Chains A and B, each alone.
Chain A
Amino acid sequence: MAPASAPSPAPSSALSLRDVVALSGRFPLLAGVDLEVAVGETVLIEGPNGAGKTSLLRVVAGLVPVASGQATVLGLDPVRHRTEVRRRVGLLAHASHLYDDLNVKENVRFAVRAAGGDPSRIGDACERLGLTGRLLRTGAAKLSAGQRRRVALAVLVARAPELWLLDEPHAGLDASARRLLNEVIAEATANGATALVASHEPELVASLANRSVTITGGRVTAERPIVTSMNPPRIVHVA
Protein backbone atom coordinates (compact mmCIF):
# COMPACT_ATOMS: atom_id res chain seq x y z
CA MET A 1 0.00 0.00 0.00
CA ALA A 2 1.73 3.09 -1.17
CA PRO A 3 1.52 6.03 1.20
CA ALA A 4 -0.81 8.85 0.28
CA SER A 5 0.98 11.20 -2.06
CA ALA A 6 2.30 14.02 0.04
CA PRO A 7 3.14 17.54 -1.01
CA SER A 8 6.81 18.44 -0.74
CA PRO A 9 6.73 21.57 1.35
CA ALA A 10 9.68 23.54 2.63
CA PRO A 11 8.09 24.75 5.85
CA SER A 12 9.58 27.46 8.04
CA SER A 13 7.47 26.00 10.84
CA ALA A 14 8.51 22.55 11.99
CA LEU A 15 5.46 22.19 14.16
CA SER A 16 2.18 24.03 14.40
CA LEU A 17 -0.48 23.00 16.90
CA ARG A 18 -3.66 25.00 17.24
CA ASP A 19 -6.12 24.14 20.00
CA VAL A 20 -5.11 20.49 19.71
CA VAL A 21 -7.09 18.04 21.78
CA ALA A 22 -6.07 14.39 22.11
CA LEU A 23 -8.00 11.75 24.00
CA SER A 24 -7.42 8.35 25.54
CA GLY A 25 -10.95 7.01 25.60
CA ARG A 26 -12.75 9.95 27.19
CA PHE A 27 -9.72 11.10 29.16
CA PRO A 28 -8.11 14.23 27.70
CA LEU A 29 -4.39 13.78 27.17
CA LEU A 30 -4.11 17.22 25.61
CA ALA A 31 -6.81 19.79 26.30
CA GLY A 32 -6.23 22.46 23.66
CA VAL A 33 -2.51 22.88 23.03
CA ASP A 34 -1.25 25.86 21.01
CA LEU A 35 2.39 25.63 20.03
CA GLU A 36 4.53 26.90 17.18
CA VAL A 37 8.07 25.62 16.71
CA ALA A 38 10.31 26.97 13.97
CA VAL A 39 12.68 24.81 11.95
CA GLY A 40 16.03 24.51 13.70
CA GLU A 41 14.66 25.45 17.11
CA THR A 42 15.25 23.41 20.26
CA VAL A 43 12.34 23.63 22.65
CA LEU A 44 12.36 22.34 26.20
CA ILE A 45 9.00 20.95 27.32
CA GLU A 46 8.52 21.19 31.08
CA GLY A 47 5.69 20.28 33.40
CA PRO A 48 4.74 18.05 36.31
CA ASN A 49 4.05 14.32 35.99
CA GLY A 50 0.89 13.68 34.01
CA ALA A 51 0.87 17.17 32.55
CA GLY A 52 0.86 15.92 28.96
CA LYS A 53 4.52 16.15 27.91
CA THR A 54 4.76 12.57 26.65
CA SER A 55 1.30 12.82 25.08
CA LEU A 56 2.38 15.94 23.22
CA LEU A 57 5.39 14.12 21.75
CA ARG A 58 3.26 11.10 20.83
CA VAL A 59 0.71 13.32 19.10
CA VAL A 60 3.47 15.02 17.10
CA ALA A 61 4.91 11.60 16.17
CA GLY A 62 1.49 10.53 14.94
CA LEU A 63 1.11 7.78 17.54
CA VAL A 64 -1.90 9.45 19.17
CA PRO A 65 -4.56 10.92 16.88
CA VAL A 66 -5.69 14.51 17.13
CA ALA A 67 -9.32 14.53 18.29
CA SER A 68 -9.86 18.19 17.45
CA GLY A 69 -7.84 21.23 16.52
CA GLN A 70 -5.23 21.64 13.81
CA ALA A 71 -1.83 19.98 13.71
CA THR A 72 0.89 20.39 11.11
CA VAL A 73 4.19 18.53 11.44
CA LEU A 74 6.97 19.49 9.02
CA GLY A 75 4.29 21.08 6.87
CA LEU A 76 2.25 17.87 6.73
CA ASP A 77 -0.98 16.68 8.25
CA PRO A 78 0.11 13.89 10.65
CA VAL A 79 -3.08 11.92 9.97
CA ARG A 80 -3.34 12.20 6.18
CA HIS A 81 0.41 11.88 5.65
CA ARG A 82 1.08 9.55 8.55
CA THR A 83 3.79 7.48 6.88
CA GLU A 84 5.64 10.50 5.54
CA VAL A 85 5.55 12.24 8.92
CA ARG A 86 6.71 9.16 10.80
CA ARG A 87 9.66 8.67 8.46
CA ARG A 88 10.80 12.26 8.99
CA VAL A 89 10.29 12.32 12.76
CA GLY A 90 12.35 10.45 15.35
CA LEU A 91 11.04 9.67 18.83
CA LEU A 92 13.28 8.73 21.73
CA ALA A 93 10.63 7.43 24.11
CA HIS A 94 10.69 5.89 27.57
CA ALA A 95 10.77 2.50 25.83
CA SER A 96 13.76 1.77 23.62
CA HIS A 97 11.82 -0.21 20.97
CA LEU A 98 14.47 -2.94 20.98
CA TYR A 99 14.06 -6.68 20.40
CA ASP A 100 15.69 -8.61 23.24
CA ASP A 101 16.63 -11.54 21.00
CA LEU A 102 18.51 -9.38 18.51
CA ASN A 103 21.94 -7.96 19.20
CA VAL A 104 22.78 -4.26 19.18
CA LYS A 105 23.86 -4.11 15.55
CA GLU A 106 20.85 -6.10 14.35
CA ASN A 107 18.48 -3.87 16.30
CA VAL A 108 19.98 -0.69 14.88
CA ARG A 109 20.10 -2.09 11.35
CA PHE A 110 16.48 -3.23 11.48
CA ALA A 111 15.20 0.07 12.88
CA VAL A 112 17.13 2.15 10.35
CA ARG A 113 16.12 0.02 7.38
CA ALA A 114 12.50 -0.11 8.55
CA ALA A 115 12.40 3.68 8.71
CA GLY A 116 13.87 3.98 5.23
CA GLY A 117 17.17 5.35 6.57
CA ASP A 118 20.59 5.02 5.01
CA PRO A 119 22.22 1.80 6.33
CA SER A 120 25.68 3.14 5.50
CA ARG A 121 25.33 5.57 8.43
CA ILE A 122 24.85 2.78 10.98
CA GLY A 123 28.55 2.15 11.63
CA ASP A 124 29.34 5.79 12.33
CA ALA A 125 26.23 6.23 14.47
CA CYS A 126 27.09 3.22 16.64
CA GLU A 127 30.68 4.40 17.01
CA ARG A 128 29.49 7.89 17.94
CA LEU A 129 27.41 6.42 20.75
CA GLY A 130 30.20 4.17 21.97
CA LEU A 131 28.57 1.00 20.68
CA THR A 132 31.66 -0.77 19.45
CA GLY A 133 33.48 -4.10 19.67
CA ARG A 134 31.78 -6.88 21.55
CA LEU A 135 28.93 -4.60 22.60
CA LEU A 136 27.68 -4.56 19.01
CA ARG A 137 27.18 -8.33 19.16
CA THR A 138 25.59 -8.30 22.61
CA GLY A 139 21.92 -9.25 22.81
CA ALA A 140 19.63 -6.36 23.77
CA ALA A 141 18.31 -8.41 26.70
CA LYS A 142 21.74 -8.17 28.34
CA LEU A 143 22.04 -4.39 28.04
CA SER A 144 21.64 -1.98 30.95
CA ALA A 145 18.99 0.73 30.79
CA GLY A 146 21.62 3.29 29.84
CA GLN A 147 23.02 1.07 27.08
CA ARG A 148 19.53 0.51 25.68
CA ARG A 149 19.11 4.27 25.62
CA ARG A 150 22.38 4.60 23.69
CA VAL A 151 21.18 2.05 21.14
CA ALA A 152 17.89 3.91 20.69
CA LEU A 153 19.84 7.12 20.26
CA ALA A 154 22.16 5.48 17.73
CA VAL A 155 19.07 4.65 15.66
CA LEU A 156 18.10 8.32 15.68
CA VAL A 157 21.61 9.44 14.77
CA ALA A 158 21.73 6.97 11.87
CA ARG A 159 18.25 7.96 10.69
CA ALA A 160 18.93 11.69 11.03
CA PRO A 161 15.26 12.72 11.28
CA GLU A 162 14.21 16.30 10.65
CA LEU A 163 12.29 16.54 13.92
CA TRP A 164 13.72 14.96 17.08
CA LEU A 165 11.22 14.19 19.82
CA LEU A 166 13.10 13.36 23.00
CA ASP A 167 11.18 12.17 26.04
CA GLU A 168 13.31 12.40 29.19
CA PRO A 169 16.39 11.66 27.08
CA HIS A 170 18.85 11.93 29.98
CA ALA A 171 17.05 9.36 32.13
CA GLY A 172 19.24 6.37 32.93
CA LEU A 173 22.38 7.86 31.40
CA ASP A 174 25.64 8.41 33.23
CA ALA A 175 27.42 11.78 33.18
CA SER A 176 29.52 11.07 30.09
CA ALA A 177 26.54 9.72 28.19
CA ARG A 178 24.54 12.82 29.12
CA ARG A 179 27.28 15.04 27.72
CA LEU A 180 27.39 12.90 24.60
CA LEU A 181 23.61 13.13 24.24
CA ASN A 182 23.76 16.91 24.44
CA GLU A 183 26.49 16.95 21.80
CA VAL A 184 24.39 14.76 19.52
CA ILE A 185 21.33 17.00 19.91
CA ALA A 186 23.44 20.12 19.32
CA GLU A 187 24.94 18.57 16.17
CA ALA A 188 21.53 17.60 14.87
CA THR A 189 20.08 21.07 15.34
CA ALA A 190 23.23 22.65 13.92
CA ASN A 191 22.55 20.57 10.82
CA GLY A 192 19.04 21.99 10.53
CA ALA A 193 17.00 19.54 12.60
CA THR A 194 14.40 20.67 15.12
CA ALA A 195 14.20 19.22 18.63
CA LEU A 196 11.47 18.99 21.25
CA VAL A 197 12.92 17.82 24.55
CA ALA A 198 10.57 16.85 27.37
CA SER A 199 12.49 16.81 30.62
CA HIS A 200 12.19 17.04 34.38
CA GLU A 201 15.81 18.12 34.45
CA PRO A 202 15.75 21.48 32.64
CA GLU A 203 19.28 22.30 33.76
CA LEU A 204 20.55 19.50 31.52
CA VAL A 205 18.80 20.89 28.46
CA ALA A 206 19.08 24.60 29.18
CA SER A 207 22.35 24.97 27.31
CA LEU A 208 20.73 23.53 24.16
CA ALA A 209 17.26 25.01 24.14
CA ASN A 210 16.13 28.32 22.69
CA ARG A 211 12.83 28.28 24.49
CA SER A 212 10.99 26.56 27.31
CA VAL A 213 7.32 25.62 27.18
CA THR A 214 5.47 24.59 30.32
CA ILE A 215 2.54 22.20 30.06
CA THR A 216 0.03 21.78 32.84
CA GLY A 217 -3.20 19.83 32.63
CA GLY A 218 -2.76 19.18 28.92
CA ARG A 219 -2.33 22.87 28.00
CA VAL A 220 0.57 25.18 27.40
CA THR A 221 0.52 27.42 30.45
CA ALA A 222 3.77 29.33 30.06
CA GLU A 223 6.49 30.01 27.53
CA ARG A 224 9.82 31.70 28.08
CA PRO A 225 13.03 32.11 26.21
CA ILE A 226 15.94 30.24 27.69
CA VAL A 227 18.16 32.88 29.19
CA THR A 228 21.62 33.22 30.62
CA SER A 229 22.62 35.11 33.75
CA MET A 230 23.14 38.15 31.54
CA ASN A 231 19.59 37.98 30.35
CA PRO A 232 17.07 37.53 33.19
CA PRO A 233 13.97 35.44 32.52
CA ARG A 234 10.72 36.97 31.36
CA ILE A 235 7.81 34.59 31.88
CA VAL A 236 4.87 34.89 29.55
CA HIS A 237 1.70 33.36 30.96
CA VAL A 238 -0.71 31.92 28.43
CA ALA A 239 -4.42 32.05 29.15
Chain B
Amino acid sequence: MWRDTLLIAGKDLRIEARSRVALSQVAPFGIVALVLFAFALGPDRAPMAKGAPGLFWVAMLFSSVLAIQRSVSVESVDGARDGLRLSGLDPAGQFLGKTLSVAAQLLVLEVVLGVGVVLLYGASIATFWLIAVSCLLGTVGLAAAGTLYGALSAGLRIKETLLPFLLLPVVAPVLLAGTRMWQAALSGGTPSNGTPWFHLLIAFDAVYLALGVVVYGPIQETA
Protein backbone atom coordinates (compact mmCIF):
# COMPACT_ATOMS: atom_id res chain seq x y z
CA MET B 1 0.00 0.00 0.00
CA TRP B 2 2.74 2.50 0.90
CA ARG B 3 4.58 1.84 -2.38
CA ASP B 4 1.35 2.64 -4.24
CA THR B 5 0.82 5.73 -2.08
CA LEU B 6 4.23 7.13 -2.99
CA LEU B 7 3.80 6.18 -6.65
CA ILE B 8 0.49 8.06 -6.95
CA ALA B 9 1.66 11.05 -4.90
CA GLY B 10 4.85 11.27 -6.93
CA LYS B 11 2.91 11.14 -10.20
CA ASP B 12 0.42 13.82 -9.11
CA LEU B 13 3.13 16.12 -7.77
CA ARG B 14 5.14 15.69 -10.96
CA ILE B 15 2.04 16.65 -12.95
CA GLU B 16 1.60 19.71 -10.73
CA ALA B 17 5.27 20.63 -11.14
CA ARG B 18 4.76 20.57 -14.92
CA SER B 19 1.36 22.27 -15.12
CA ARG B 20 1.81 24.66 -12.14
CA VAL B 21 -1.97 24.91 -11.74
CA ALA B 22 -1.72 25.25 -7.96
CA LEU B 23 0.81 28.07 -8.22
CA SER B 24 -0.66 29.91 -11.19
CA GLN B 25 -4.37 29.51 -10.50
CA VAL B 26 -5.23 28.11 -7.06
CA ALA B 27 -2.91 30.35 -5.01
CA PRO B 28 -3.86 33.53 -6.94
CA PHE B 29 -7.53 32.62 -6.44
CA GLY B 30 -6.95 32.39 -2.67
CA ILE B 31 -5.16 35.75 -2.64
CA VAL B 32 -7.95 37.36 -4.67
CA ALA B 33 -10.45 36.01 -2.13
CA LEU B 34 -8.44 37.59 0.73
CA VAL B 35 -8.32 40.91 -1.13
CA LEU B 36 -12.07 40.82 -1.80
CA PHE B 37 -12.74 40.12 1.90
CA ALA B 38 -10.61 43.18 2.69
CA PHE B 39 -12.65 45.30 0.26
CA ALA B 40 -15.88 44.04 1.82
CA LEU B 41 -14.77 44.85 5.38
CA GLY B 42 -13.62 48.38 4.51
CA PRO B 43 -10.43 50.32 5.12
CA ASP B 44 -10.36 49.91 8.92
CA ARG B 45 -7.84 47.20 9.76
CA ALA B 46 -9.26 46.35 13.21
CA PRO B 47 -12.24 44.28 11.98
CA MET B 48 -10.00 42.63 9.40
CA ALA B 49 -7.46 41.58 12.03
CA LYS B 50 -10.28 40.29 14.21
CA GLY B 51 -11.85 38.31 11.39
CA ALA B 52 -8.51 37.14 9.95
CA PRO B 53 -8.74 33.55 11.27
CA GLY B 54 -12.17 32.91 9.76
CA LEU B 55 -11.34 34.69 6.52
CA PHE B 56 -8.13 32.66 6.17
CA TRP B 57 -10.01 29.37 6.52
CA VAL B 58 -12.86 30.41 4.22
CA ALA B 59 -10.28 31.33 1.56
CA MET B 60 -8.55 27.99 2.20
CA LEU B 61 -11.79 26.04 1.81
CA PHE B 62 -12.68 27.70 -1.48
CA SER B 63 -9.14 27.32 -2.81
CA SER B 64 -8.99 23.69 -1.74
CA VAL B 65 -12.06 22.94 -3.87
CA LEU B 66 -10.06 24.08 -6.91
CA ALA B 67 -7.04 21.97 -5.90
CA ILE B 68 -9.22 18.91 -5.40
CA GLN B 69 -11.06 19.44 -8.69
CA ARG B 70 -7.70 19.56 -10.41
CA SER B 71 -6.66 16.33 -8.69
CA VAL B 72 -9.86 14.69 -9.95
CA SER B 73 -9.63 16.12 -13.46
CA VAL B 74 -6.14 14.74 -14.19
CA GLU B 75 -7.70 11.28 -13.95
CA SER B 76 -10.63 12.23 -16.20
CA VAL B 77 -8.59 12.83 -19.35
CA ASP B 78 -7.88 10.06 -21.88
CA GLY B 79 -9.31 7.31 -19.69
CA ALA B 80 -6.63 7.73 -17.02
CA ARG B 81 -9.03 6.59 -14.31
CA ASP B 82 -9.58 3.31 -16.15
CA GLY B 83 -5.81 3.07 -16.52
CA LEU B 84 -5.43 3.30 -12.74
CA ARG B 85 -8.14 0.68 -12.20
CA LEU B 86 -6.51 -1.63 -14.72
CA SER B 87 -3.11 -1.28 -13.09
CA GLY B 88 -4.26 -3.22 -10.06
CA LEU B 89 -2.91 -0.54 -7.71
CA ASP B 90 -4.20 -0.84 -4.17
CA PRO B 91 -7.22 1.53 -3.94
CA ALA B 92 -6.20 2.48 -0.38
CA GLY B 93 -2.77 3.41 -1.72
CA GLN B 94 -4.38 5.44 -4.49
CA PHE B 95 -6.52 7.30 -1.96
CA LEU B 96 -3.60 8.02 0.36
CA GLY B 97 -1.39 9.02 -2.56
CA LYS B 98 -3.88 11.50 -3.93
CA THR B 99 -4.54 12.80 -0.40
CA LEU B 100 -0.81 13.26 0.16
CA SER B 101 -0.41 15.14 -3.11
CA VAL B 102 -3.36 17.46 -2.43
CA ALA B 103 -2.16 18.01 1.15
CA ALA B 104 1.31 19.02 -0.05
CA GLN B 105 -0.21 21.59 -2.40
CA LEU B 106 -2.56 22.91 0.28
CA LEU B 107 0.32 23.35 2.73
CA VAL B 108 2.11 25.58 0.22
CA LEU B 109 -1.16 27.44 -0.30
CA GLU B 110 -1.51 27.95 3.47
CA VAL B 111 1.92 29.55 3.66
CA VAL B 112 0.97 31.92 0.84
CA LEU B 113 -2.41 32.79 2.37
CA GLY B 114 -0.89 33.03 5.87
CA VAL B 115 1.53 35.65 4.63
CA GLY B 116 -1.38 37.35 2.85
CA VAL B 117 -3.41 37.50 6.08
CA VAL B 118 -0.49 39.05 7.99
CA LEU B 119 0.22 41.64 5.28
CA LEU B 120 -3.35 42.50 4.23
CA TYR B 121 -5.19 42.26 7.54
CA GLY B 122 -2.38 43.22 9.90
CA ALA B 123 -2.81 40.02 11.89
CA SER B 124 0.05 39.31 14.28
CA ILE B 125 0.77 35.75 15.29
CA ALA B 126 1.50 35.24 18.99
CA THR B 127 1.65 31.42 19.15
CA PHE B 128 3.16 30.24 15.92
CA TRP B 129 3.17 26.54 16.70
CA LEU B 130 -0.60 26.56 17.23
CA ILE B 131 -1.00 28.00 13.74
CA ALA B 132 1.30 25.30 12.35
CA VAL B 133 -0.58 22.48 14.08
CA SER B 134 -3.99 23.78 12.97
CA CYS B 135 -2.79 24.13 9.38
CA LEU B 136 -1.25 20.67 9.34
CA LEU B 137 -4.30 18.93 10.79
CA GLY B 138 -6.76 21.04 8.80
CA THR B 139 -4.87 20.28 5.61
CA VAL B 140 -4.96 16.53 6.18
CA GLY B 141 -8.70 16.70 6.82
CA LEU B 142 -9.41 18.87 3.79
CA ALA B 143 -7.27 16.69 1.53
CA ALA B 144 -8.75 13.40 2.78
CA ALA B 145 -12.38 14.52 2.65
CA GLY B 146 -11.79 16.28 -0.68
CA THR B 147 -10.17 13.25 -2.28
CA LEU B 148 -13.02 11.06 -1.10
CA TYR B 149 -15.78 13.35 -2.35
CA GLY B 150 -13.79 14.04 -5.50
CA ALA B 151 -13.84 10.31 -6.25
CA LEU B 152 -17.58 10.22 -5.54
CA SER B 153 -18.27 12.95 -8.07
CA ALA B 154 -15.60 11.87 -10.58
CA GLY B 155 -17.81 9.76 -12.82
CA LEU B 156 -20.59 12.32 -13.04
CA ARG B 157 -21.09 14.84 -15.82
CA ILE B 158 -21.92 17.51 -13.24
CA LYS B 159 -18.82 16.90 -11.12
CA GLU B 160 -17.55 20.49 -11.31
CA THR B 161 -20.65 21.88 -9.64
CA LEU B 162 -21.43 18.88 -7.44
CA LEU B 163 -18.07 18.71 -5.68
CA PRO B 164 -18.29 22.08 -3.85
CA PHE B 165 -21.89 21.34 -2.97
CA LEU B 166 -20.92 18.00 -1.40
CA LEU B 167 -17.61 19.04 0.12
CA LEU B 168 -18.08 22.46 1.70
CA PRO B 169 -20.76 21.46 4.24
CA VAL B 170 -18.78 18.36 5.20
CA VAL B 171 -15.58 20.30 5.95
CA ALA B 172 -17.34 22.80 8.19
CA PRO B 173 -15.63 21.25 11.26
CA VAL B 174 -12.26 22.12 9.74
CA LEU B 175 -13.39 25.72 9.27
CA LEU B 176 -14.69 25.86 12.83
CA ALA B 177 -11.74 24.19 14.54
CA GLY B 178 -9.11 25.89 12.37
CA THR B 179 -10.64 29.31 13.03
CA ARG B 180 -10.78 28.76 16.79
CA MET B 181 -7.19 27.55 16.92
CA TRP B 182 -6.06 30.57 14.88
CA GLN B 183 -8.02 32.88 17.19
CA ALA B 184 -6.19 31.32 20.15
CA ALA B 185 -2.87 31.68 18.35
CA LEU B 186 -3.44 35.31 17.35
CA SER B 187 -4.64 36.38 20.77
CA GLY B 188 -1.67 34.76 22.48
CA GLY B 189 -3.95 32.49 24.45
CA THR B 190 -2.69 29.44 26.24
CA PRO B 191 -2.46 26.18 24.33
CA SER B 192 -5.43 24.87 26.31
CA ASN B 193 -7.64 27.39 24.44
CA GLY B 194 -7.10 25.34 21.32
CA THR B 195 -7.22 21.87 22.85
CA PRO B 196 -10.87 20.91 22.14
CA TRP B 197 -10.49 22.10 18.55
CA PHE B 198 -7.24 20.21 18.24
CA HIS B 199 -9.13 17.06 19.26
CA LEU B 200 -11.89 17.83 16.77
CA LEU B 201 -9.39 18.11 13.93
CA ILE B 202 -7.66 14.88 14.97
CA ALA B 203 -11.01 13.08 15.01
CA PHE B 204 -12.02 14.56 11.64
CA ASP B 205 -8.73 13.49 10.06
CA ALA B 206 -8.94 9.99 11.52
CA VAL B 207 -12.53 9.48 10.35
CA TYR B 208 -11.90 10.63 6.78
CA LEU B 209 -8.57 8.84 6.41
CA ALA B 210 -10.10 5.59 7.64
CA LEU B 211 -13.25 6.06 5.54
CA GLY B 212 -11.20 6.80 2.44
CA VAL B 213 -8.97 3.76 2.90
CA VAL B 214 -12.04 1.53 3.19
CA VAL B 215 -14.43 2.95 0.60
CA TYR B 216 -12.21 4.50 -2.09
CA GLY B 217 -11.97 1.19 -3.96
CA PRO B 218 -15.72 0.51 -4.11
CA ILE B 219 -16.35 4.15 -5.08
CA GLN B 220 -13.80 3.88 -7.88
CA GLU B 221 -15.44 0.76 -9.22
CA THR B 222 -18.94 2.23 -9.25
CA ALA B 223 -18.38 5.94 -10.01
Q: Which residues of A contact B (CB under 8 A)?
A: 1-3, 61-63, 65, 82-84, 86-87, 89, 91, 93-102, 106, 110-111, 113-116, 139-140, 148
| Residue on B nearest A88 in the bound complex, by CB | B88
Pairwise interchain contact B77-A100, C-beta atoms closer than 8 A: yes
Contact A96:B88 (CB < 8 A) given known A1-B213, A101-B19, A102-B11? no
Judging by beta carbons under 8 Å apart, are A83 and B15 in contact? no
Q: Would you mind naming 12 contact pairs between A and B with Cβ atoms under 8 Å apart?
A: A3-B88, A86-B86, A93-B82, A95-B82, A97-B79, A102-B15, A102-B18, A111-B83, A115-B86, A116-B87, A139-B18, A140-B78
Picked from A82, A96, A139, the residue with its CB within 8 Å of the CB of B79 is A96
Q: Which residues of A contact B79 (CB under 8 A)?
A: 93-97
Residues of B bordering A, CB below 8 Å? 1, 4, 7, 11, 14-15, 18-19, 74, 77-80, 82-92, 213, 217, 221
Compute how far the CA of A209 lies from the CA of B89 in the bound complex, rounded to whole angstroms: 32
Contact B80 A97 (CB under 8 A): yes
Task: Give the interface SS of chain A, mostly helix, strand, loop or mixed.
Answer: loop
Cα of A149 to Cα of B95 in the assembled complex, Å = 28
A172 to B217: give the CA distance in the assembly, Å. Answer: 33
- Residues of A within 8 Å of B84, CB to CB, are 114
Question: Chain B nearest CB: distance from A156 CB in Å?
Answer: 11
Q: A91-B86, A96-B79, A113-B7 are in contact. List 11 more A-B contacts (CB 8 A).
A: A61-B86, A63-B86, A86-B88, A97-B82, A98-B80, A101-B18, A114-B7, A114-B87, A114-B88, A114-B89, A140-B78
Docked CA distance A94–B85 (Å): 16
Chain B residues with CB under 8 Å of A84's CB are 88
Q: Which residue of A lies closest to B92 (CB)?
A: A1
A8 to B191, CA, bound (A): 57
| Contact (Cβ within 8 A) B86 A99 | no
When distances are taken between beta carbons in the complex, the residues of chain B under 8 Å from A115 are 86-88
